[in-house]
Amino acid sequence: MQRSFLDRLFESGLLIETGVDGLYGRGGRFEDVIAAFERLIDRFGGADGAEAIRFPPGMNRAYFEKSGYMRSFPQLAGTVHSFCGNELDHVSLLKCMDADEDWTAEQKATDIVLTPAACYPLYPTVAKRGNLPAGGGLYDLQSYCFRHEPSNDPARQQLFRMREYVRMGTQADVTEFRQTWMDRGVEMMKEVGLPVEIDVANDPFFGRAGKMLANNQRDQNLKFELLIPITSTTSPTACMSFNYHQDAFGTKWGLNLEDGSVAHTACVGFGLERIALALFHHHGLDTEQWPVSVRRALWG
């Protein structure tokens, strides 16, 4: 039987098994590729003057609740719960664990939920500052993100990194920003020798009502993806996404332009693990053997 791509990633030490599908350690050579690709992103986007902000992989639960994530994607969310009891409760907790019973039911929700996409903590943060400056805003983010979608496809992980640029401004500002990054995305992948395709897409909105939201998103061309074949040639993997939120986040969070009108927003996300996996899939597991042009684009 042919070994799967995931098996070969484990054997080479690029990814490290944890016993949970979609939860992996990363070897040093895997991280070198991600670091190099992030420098390539900096090279393409660095002159735009984005404000760099790094949030930890957890966000304020109140902001998460207000974001509407549970309305659209309840199946993907991850909340952080903790033991909040007294000594007596602790005794029953240990008894429960010793008996191999479910000890998690008594855990209480904390003020933190796992970040579902790198840009989620940004909108309330920027809104608190007051009106945007003239010309709007541009932000550079990177965060580990959690999505409860266990899979044995190495390109679908539960904890993975998303690098994002977010633009806030007029409709013209943010749609131009999105187009610029679609062009740059194609150009960047060409530099590192990866075949790409850009296609309209939709988010996995939950349930029957979600079908309508997904259709609407597609019909209005609100989401595009840059696709690269990794584990399948017939359904290539989304390695970047380009999202136009219209004024939905501006209205929800009270993001206003300098003149007080509601801001439009757009975000562009790089799936860093997916891009690294695409590189290993197309050029081999040994980076020393990658084509010279690819090595030059990544390591100079």
Long-range contacts at 200-209 (CB < 8 A, ≥ 24 apart): 200/224, 201/225, 201/238, 201/241, 203/72, 203/73, 204/73, 204/75, 204/76, 205/72, 205/73, 206/72, 206/73, 206/74, 206/75
Specify the stretch interacting with ligand ATP by CB under 6 A; choose among 39-47, 61-69, 187-195, 265-273. 265-273
- The site partner of 273 among Zn ion, ligand ATP, none (C-beta below 5 to 8 Å per kind) is ligand ATP
Buried-exposed string 143-180: b where 16+ CB fall within 10 A, e elsewhere? bbbbbeeeeebbbbbbbbbbbbbbbbbeeebbbebbeb
Contact string (CB under 6 A) for ligand ATP, positions 171-210, x = contact: --------------------------------x-------
- Can you tell me which of 40, 240, 266, 297 binds ligand ATP, judged by CB under 6 A? 240
Integer Cα distance of 77 and 295 in angstroms? 37
- Can you tell me which of 123, 269, 281, 298 binds ligand ATP, judged by CB under 6 A? 269
- Between residue 133 and residue 162, which ones bind ligand ATP under the rule CB under 6 A? 147, 149, 156-157, 160, 162
Integer Cα distance of 229 and 197 in angstroms? 9
Instruction: Tell me how many residues contact ligand ATP (CB under 6 A).
Output: 17
- The site partner of 147 among Zn ion, ligand ATP, none (C-beta below 5 to 8 Å per kind) is ligand ATP
Cβ closest to ligand ATP, residue 276 vs residue 297: 276
Cβ closest to ligand ATP, residue 45 vs residue 271: 271
Give least dist CB 117 to Zn ion, A: 5
Contact 146, 161 (CB under 8 A): no
